[in-house]
Amino acid sequence: MPEAVKNSFSEKFGDSINVEWLQTDDFFEAIFYHEEIEHIAHFDSTGKLLNLKKNLSIHAVPQHIKDKALEHGELMNVIEISEAEIVGYELIVRDEALIRFSMLMNEKGGLIHKCKL
């Protein structure tokens, strides 16, 4: 792994625990816990952070995202996705018939994509 990737990770997430690394071509993925939250960070070979995913507890989800999700069913899981200055949310909701759906929402709660799991 390039030193630039290691340094970039340390600068951003230095006190992380249980760090696991995966490499695909020139991209590096770190799966780790930071401040008791599971994260997945993607870096290029120069150490640039390409995107970051955080597995949020239901209590940590912004209220407007919760409200929009509840229009589709019970909120089961939320991942916050940060890429450049754009934030989005990947959610799993379950409707009254217990059918689960994967949803992608933008920062304001706008629905980008929904599909049945």
Sign (positive/negative) of CA torsion 6, 54, 117, 112?
negative
Q: How far apart are alpha carbons 7 and 27 in whole angstroms?
A: 15
What value does the mean pLDDT take over residues 67-85? 93
Q: Is the pTM of this model over 0.95?
A: no
Burial class of residue 21, CB neighbours in 10 A (0-12, 13-18, 19+):
middle
Distance CA 73, CA 66 (A): 10
The pLDDT of residue 99: 95
Using the predicted structure, report yes or no on whether residue 86 has a pLDDT greater than 90: no
Residues 6 or more apart whose Cβ sits within 8 Å of residue 45: 2, 4, 5, 26, 27, 28
Q: What is the token pair recorded at 89?
A: 């949310």
Are the C-beta atoms of residues 19 and 52 closer than 8 Å to each other?
no
Look at residue 26 in the predicted model and tell me its pLDDT: 87
pLDDT, tens digit (0-9, with 9 covering 90-100), for 11-25: 999 889 999 999 998
As a whole number of angstroms, the distance between CA 100 and CA 76 comes to 9
Percent of the chain with pLDDT over 90: 91
Q: Is the pLDDT of residue 84 over 90?
A: no
Within the chain, where are the H helices?
3-13, 63-70
